[in-house]
Amino acid sequence: MTLTTATAGAAPYAFDAAHTTAAFTATHLAIIKVHGSVPFVGGTMDLGPNDLPVSGSATFDMTKIDSGDANRDNSLRTQYLETAQYPTMKFVVRSVSGTPQAFTLTGDLTLHGVTKPVTLKGAVVGTAMFRGKREVGYTAETTIDRRDFGINFGTGITNGPLGAGTDITIDIECGLIAP
């Protein structure tokens, strides 16, 4: 079964903020992967048949990016991501296709003041009743080139693969709660 964007009959769900996060992975000095997280701010998602998302958006707080190293986090926030000017990362769903076990979300990612189309590969992880409400869990992933979003680390070694890698993998884990 393949589903494309259609909001007729879609049910609006709220994100479960305590169970929604974006994680990132980037390569440092071409030898090691650095991992971090970006907390969820807000958003809603409409779900269609088989719990596939059909429309919605999610926003994450770039001012609270956490890579486990205070110095690196400060540099990321001030020098590279310029979070005083660009405090959030937002994804808006434009279309969905696939099955609950393997679907793609195509949409617009806004990061560092730049909006570009991206495709996330996702899956429905499961459903459960929690505190009297139905909750649906999801996982999704995409890889972006940071340069497409104007995130450049100067010139020379710091902007090439020996500084910070250009490919950034973003993993999103989220729970959506029925109204």
Query: ∠107-116-161 over CA atoms, to 5°?
Result: 120
74-98 burial, b at 16+ Cβ within 10 Å, e below that, comes to eebbeebbbbeebbebbbbbeebeb
Residue 36: closest CA among 48, 51, 46, 25: 25
CA distance to 29, 50, 72, 92, per residue, from 98 (Å): 37, 11, 38, 18
pLDDT at 3: 33
pLDDT at 5: 37
| pLDDT tens digits, 71-96 | 989 988 998 899 999 999 999 999 99
Check if the beta carbon of residue 63 is closer than 8 Å to that of residue 83.
Answer: yes
* Length of the chain measured in residues: 179
Q: Sketch out the chain's domains with CATH numbers.
A: 11-177 (2.40.128.110)
Q: Phi and psi (nearest 5°) for 129?
A: -95, 130
Confidence band (pLDDT; 50, 70, 90) for 1? very low
| pLDDT tens digits, 104-163 | 999 999 999 999 999 999 999 999 998 899 999 999 999 999 999 998 865 544 555 556
Please state the pTM of the whole predicted model.
Answer: 0.86
CA–CA separation, 170 vs 38, rounded Å? Answer: 10
pLDDT at 166: 86
